[in-house]
Amino acid sequence: MRIDDGKKVVVITSDTKMDIPEKSLELMKGADLMLADAITPPGYTISKHMTADEAMLLGERLGARRLLLTHCSHLYPPHEMALKKWPLGHDMMDESDNSL
């Protein structure tokens, strides 16, 4: 999903793997904020979902200015530890003050 208000662009991947159609990838490029499905840390595989490393690679390839990983499972280490490795989103996170 791409949301563009003419000033900023937000992209949300929802449940997905890396095999995203090229037409969709084109629409996802250059987001100010990308919310990417990253249900597991590396080392685990769940069908129809990306790992944290895959989501980070996708964000980098698409040139996202800011990336937040969402839909994170209990397989991650505790949140404060995981934040040292990955840009995890969390429930009730407020990005309205973030200078995108």
What is the tens place of the pLDDT at every residue in 33-72?
A: 999 999 999 999 899 999 999 999 999 999 999 999 999 9
Nearest to 59 by CA among 86, 78, 79, 81: 86
CA atoms within 13 A on the CB side of 15: 5
Which range of residues forms the domain containing residue 78? 2-82
Give a yes or no: residue 98 inside a domain. no
What local confidence, expressed as pLDDT, does residue 90 receive?
81
Give a yes or no: residue 34 inside a domain. yes
Give a yes or no: residue 58 inside a domain. yes
Residue partners of 5: CB distance under 8 A and separation at least 6: none
Give a yes or no: residue 88 inside a domain. no
The pTM assigned to this predicted structure is 0.88
Give a yes or no: residue 37 inside a domain. yes
Give a yes or no: residue 62 inside a domain. yes
User: 18: buried, middle or exposed (CB in 10 Å: 19+, 13-18, 0-12)?
Assistant: exposed
Give a yes or no: residue 32 inside a domain. yes
Q: What's the pLDDT tens digit per position in 76-100?
A: 999 899 999 999 988 888 877 665 6
Number of domains in the chain: 1
Q: Which two tokens stand for residue 95?
A: 């990005």
What local confidence, expressed as pLDDT, does residue 99 receive?
58
